[in-house]
Amino acid sequence: MAEEKFRLESDLLGELKVPVDAYYGVQTQRGINNYHISRKKMRDYPDYIIAIAYVKLAAIQTNHSLGVINDEISGAISKACQELIDGKLHENFPIDMMQGGAGTSVNMNANEVIANRALEIMGHKKGEYQYCYPNDHVNCGQSTNDVYPTSIRLAIIRMNKNLVASLTGLISAFRYKGEEFKDVIKMGRTQLQDAVPMTSGQEFNAYANNLEEEILNLERNVKLLHEINMGGTAIGTGLNAVPGFSKLCAANLSKLTGEPFVSATDLVEATPDTGAYVSYSSALKRLAIKLSKICNDLRLMASGPRCGLNEINLPPKAPGSSIMPGKVNPVIPEVTNQVCFKVIGNDTTISFAAEAGQLELNVMEPVITESLFESLVWLSNAIDTLVEECVLDITVNKERCYEMVKNSIGIVTALNPYIGYKTCTKVAKEALETNRSVYDIVLEQGLMTQEKLDEALNPKNMLVSHKFIK
């Protein structure tokens, strides 16, 4: 086996071997050595790398415009950033998502990769930092404390688009089923007890409308992420950044990404503030809660097939038991439920991490980032799975649904306007005790004519508001 070759780099703590072909440098190598926690790497999230590359590109454009970095170095750095944006060199971001240092390893990983690629572009070797230095050139006028949160914000904005696209697909699927089942009469239920009739179409369309609200809520909260603290450097005072950097960098980032970024009015306030993450995480949690409730409904309506509701059929996806032959479980709604639980838990983590900030910096942003990214990816994947493997192939047992309506005590509610609540209560009680129909008891007691009763108890007349029968 050929011996692996290394180059020797140094930092505050001394010298360290770095693989000779690696675009990252000594500080990234220390991050690799130090952190083996989540086993999820920065490179597992392409939007994250693209986001920080955009931030570094906006920064070098700003420094070049302000006369801080010369044409040759700024041109090479810009080209290196663009390559990262185009999806190249992502394997050189091996830092674990869980880390100490408030994101310094992430920022330095990007600085080193960009610097070494820029060196190559200028005709130099990796590690010849006298020509382009990760800190002095790529990180010029910046700090981890403004680069890191800005990159996180842009990454979330990008990933939110994927989530909204997935959610839009689920909404469309529910609307499709709402139209398909629009004429299927079924029993509505409250507190798991018979209520009043409705259609399966109304039920599925309600799911669509319920989730559509979440697109608006996500978009409302993602707007909070457009305020950035670039140019604040270490604690928001702007030390080492030239005058005009913050606003020009925000403008450049907006131009590059098409997103309306603005520089925070108070960079000292903005640097430790994690409120936007808390708000956005809350929006993810709200979506997860709603989605999980819908999955609960699907599992209940599909229960049986002989001894449950058996109103709908979920597409069979796997044998359901190692011991019970013939059993098929609602595995897709079940896995979606579990993803939702994870998102709800991640929101709690984010809340604790946001609260843990001290003085001019919140060092807990890595766990906030990891939790948000996990929630975004898991939710998008779960929603896509729910659509493709479940919702689109749901069928309804029309006759079963109608039979339950006919035999329900709940339809007596429709008679309240005609014979009064108290009389209806007596009818319902007798129907339950004698196992007879509401219809037969009302006629037997002469409470209504058959004509009026037929019209009042017509399921279709109970689906919407209507005038009373005189």
> Picking from 23-27, 195-199, 337-341, 351-355, which range would have the lowest pLDDT averaged per residue?
195-199
Q: Are residues 125 and 216 in the same domain?
A: no
Q: Are residues 76 and 220 in the same domain?
A: no
Is the per-residue pLDDT at 370 higher than 50? Answer: yes
Task: Answer yes or no: is 243 within a domain.
Answer: no
Per-residue DSSP letters for 356-425?
Answer: T-BTTB-TTHHHHHHHHHHHHHHHHHHHHHHHHHTGGG-EE-HHHHHHHHHT-SGGGGGGHHHH-HHHHH
Q: Are residues 291 and 176 in the same domain?
A: yes
Q: Are residues 308 and 192 in the same domain?
A: yes
Per-residue confidence (pLDDT) for residue 458, from 0 to 100: 82
Active-site hit among 10, 105, 292, 321: 321
Q: Are residues 94 and 136 in the same domain?
A: yes
Task: Answer yes or no: is 247 within a domain.
Answer: no
- Phi/psi region, residue 304 (left: phi>0; alpha: psi -120 to 50; beta: rest), is left
Give the domain extent around 424: 412-462
In the DSSP assignment, the letter for residue 325 is: T
Averaged pLDDT for residues 99-114:
96
Q: Are residues 173 and 284 in the same domain?
A: yes
Domain's final residue, options 399, 429, 453: 399
Q: Are residues 394 and 420 in the same domain?
A: no
Q: Are residues 203 and 352 in the same domain?
A: yes
Task: Answer yes or no: is 295 within a domain.
Answer: yes
Token duo for residue 101: 């240092």
Q: Are residues 21 and 89 in the same domain?
A: yes
Is the per-residue pLDDT at 461 higher than 90? Answer: no
Q: Any idea what the CATH number is for the domain that residue 372 is in?
A: 1.20.200.10
Q: How many domains does the chain contain in total?
A: 3
Q: Are residues 392 and 416 in the same domain?
A: no
Task: Answer yes or no: is 322 within a domain.
Answer: yes
CA distance 66 to 244: 8
Is the per-residue pLDDT at 2 higher than 70? Answer: no
CA distance 253 to 247: 10
Q: Any idea what the CATH number is for the domain that residue 442 is in?
A: 1.10.40.30
pLDDT tens per residue across span 127-151: 999 999 999 999 999 999 999 999 9
Per-residue confidence (pLDDT) for residue 1, from 0 to 100: 44
Closest CA to 224 of 179, 266, 277, 182: 277
pTM of the model: 0.93
Q: Are residues 373 and 421 in the same domain?
A: no
Task: Answer yes or no: is 294 within a domain.
Answer: yes
Per-residue confidence (pLDDT) for residue 456, from 0 to 100: 85
- Report residue 459's pLDDT band, with 50, 70 and 90 as the boundaries: confident
Catalytic-residue membership of 321: yes
